[in-house]
Amino acid sequence: MRVLVTGGAGFIGSHVVTALRERGHEPLVFDVREDPGADVRDPAAVGRALSGVDAVCHQAAMVGLGDGVADAAEYVSHNDLGTAVLLSAMAEAGVGHLVLAGSMVVYGEGRYECPRHGVVRPGPRAVADLDAGRFEPACPVCGDELSPGLVGEDAPADPRNVYATTKLAQEHLAAAWARCTGGSAVSLRYHNVYGPGMPRDTPYAGVASFFRSALARGEAPRVFEDGRQRRDFVDVRDVAAACTLALEAEAAPGVLRAYNTGSGDPHTVGEMARALAAAYGGPEPVVTGEYRLGDVRHITADSSRLRAELGWKPEVGFEEGMAEFARAGMREA
């Protein structure tokens, strides 16, 4: 299979390229890092790149929480305009299978349960609560403490920042393309991806990169809030394997199918910082109490659909992955 990998020279994309080659496919890298003319927002460049292609793995995106709304136009340009241009070119070229780099950020907060009111969806956390160190969302009905759980793919979307909004828009665009063309689309909603080759010293990387970059500078990782926020850290090679399986699978025509893509082994951000610092041999993490507006408290998802339908399972455990990541090289942003 000949696969165009947009963003194929990036962190996740480069691992997807390797995984495809190992399974006997022919990946074609389309990335401005290797060719300044390979901009996914350029219809002519994308059209040329799609010649002879069987499927597309769309990894090119502007990632991370960003800077409030100051860079909103840039996010929309890279993520949504770029996806729209790609999909239009795929329709014209007759390329009918897409695997999209989705994200768990489309859910906003994760799944919560109140002892009295069952499953509830708390709204965005108030600045006054965050300033006072009250980080846990409360029941929107009675104000009681909530228990976090796993969110499934059918949960309502509720993006809480600009980046999350653009990732949801990408899915809607892909779904519209699939309906119009009869193509098949898969969105893999990545959790907190980490691993070898992660970019360093950039405000647009994930929390694992922030901590690893700090350790490389001889500094203590700075853990926001109280460090008890729950996430699912998944190794980049497991994510690349999921992409490959999604490309190889026979997907239903005319629809977009979403899959949570996580390890299934949630940990707190504080636990991750301590594991990484211990493996690196660097300073102990510092819990700062700071916060980023737009961050959510807990988001961990149920990835059983991906396991059941595509036969995927993660191979790299948390302890093993963090120990390796502590020693692995990082790339410049």
What pLDDT does residue 204 have? 67
pLDDT string in tens for the chain (333-residue length): 999 999 999 999 999 999 999 999 999 999 999 999 999 999 999 999 999 999 999 999 998 876 678 899 999 999 999 999 999 999 999 999 999 999 999 999 999 999 999 999 998 999 999 999 999 999 999 999 999 999 999 999 999 999 999 999 999 999 999 999 999 999 999 999 999 999 987 766 789 999 999 999 999 999 999 999 999 999 999 999 999 999 999 989 999 999 999 999 999 999 999 999 999 999 999 999 999 988 999 999 899 999 999 999 999 999 999 999 999 988 876
Element containing residue 112 per DSSP (H, E): strand 111-114
What pLDDT does residue 202 have? 74
Element containing residue 151 per DSSP (H, E): strand 147-151
Catalytic residue among 163, 194, 259, 291: 163
> What is the pTM (predicted TM-score) of this model?
0.95
What pLDDT does residue 203 have? 66
163 labelled catalytic: yes
Among the listed residues 163, 171, 202, 166, the one whose alpha carbon sits nearest the alpha carbon of residue 187: 171
Cα separation values, 141 from 116, 122, 129, 153, Å: 9, 9, 17, 24
- Measured in degrees and rounded to the nearest 5, phi and psi for residue 29 equal -85, 125
The DSSP call for residue 330 is -
What pLDDT does residue 205 have? 73
What pLDDT does residue 201 have? 78
Please check whether residue 40 is in contact with residue 85, taking contact to mean a CB–CB distance below 8 angstroms: yes
For 117, the token pair is 């009111």
Burial class (CB in 10 A: 0-12, 13-18, 19+), 24: exposed
Among the listed residues 79, 97, 128, the one whose alpha carbon sits nearest the alpha carbon of residue 293: 128
Please check whether residue 307 is in contact with residue 261, taking contact to mean a CB–CB distance below 8 angstroms: no
Element containing residue 114 per DSSP (H, E): strand 111-114
In DSSP terms, 188 is beta-bridged to 101, 259
For 52, the token pair is 């002879």
3-state secondary structure 221-247: CEECCCCCCEECEEEHHHHHHHHHHHH
What pLDDT does residue 64 have? 80
Cα separation values, 41 from 98, 125, 184, 263, Å: 17, 35, 22, 32
